[in-house]
Copies of this chain bind each other. A is one copy, B any other.
Amino acid sequence: MARKQGSHSDITGPRILDTALRLIAQHGFAAVSMRQIASEVGVQAGALYNYTPDKQSLLFDMMREHMADLLAALRDVDLRGDALYQLEAFTRFHIRFHLPRPDQVFVSYMELRNLSPANFDVIERMRRDYEDALEAILRQGEAEGTFSVADTRVATRAIIAMLTGLSHWYREDGRLDIAAIEAIYWDLVRKSVAA
């Protein structure tokens, strides 16, 4: 019953990544089987191997795609102006980018230990690039006299942890909408590093 109607490779490919992402976010990488993914895609397990060399690459590909999207989107953010303005832009960008992608956030922050060492290094490097962008803002603010942080590296990680934690409890049908949440978090971030 192969190829029932039309060419499927351009549909099945993304569908596999989407399905795998959803399942892995829900149950964890090791707890999801290739047959489970295949079943939800509507295909046999063997067919997955037309699109990925192995299960590990499936995980790696979705994490790399997420980080690449993140870094690309960050490059489009207007980061001119003084440090305070940049920090606000970064904060709002982080929230707006991550909130609509709870599964990607979950997988990217929870399944790092299931990456092979080589793949881990790649993702870790991209994460580092993202952190560096925020740290640069903090350093600039420190130079301007706008900010006062004892350690820009620690402050960077603290802020990112705070912002990312949001994705763990935010629900679309919750008490607060994105605008309200942005305001609350920006208030916390701004004050935490204020001079």
Q: Please list the residues of chain A having a beta carbon within 8 angstroms of any beta carbon in chain B.
A: 26-31, 110, 113-114, 149-151, 154-155, 157-162, 164-166, 168-169, 176, 181, 183-185, 187-189, 191-194
Contacts and interface: CB of A to CB of B under 8 A. Distances in A.
Nearest to A168: B161
Q: Is the interface of A mostly helix, strand, loop or mixed?
A: helix
A192 B181 CA distance: 15
A155 B183 CA distance: 12
Given A159-B162, A188-B192, 4 more contacts: A29-B31, A30-B30, A30-B31, A158-B185
Contact of A169 (B27, B149, B157, B191): B157
A95 to B, nearest CB: 12
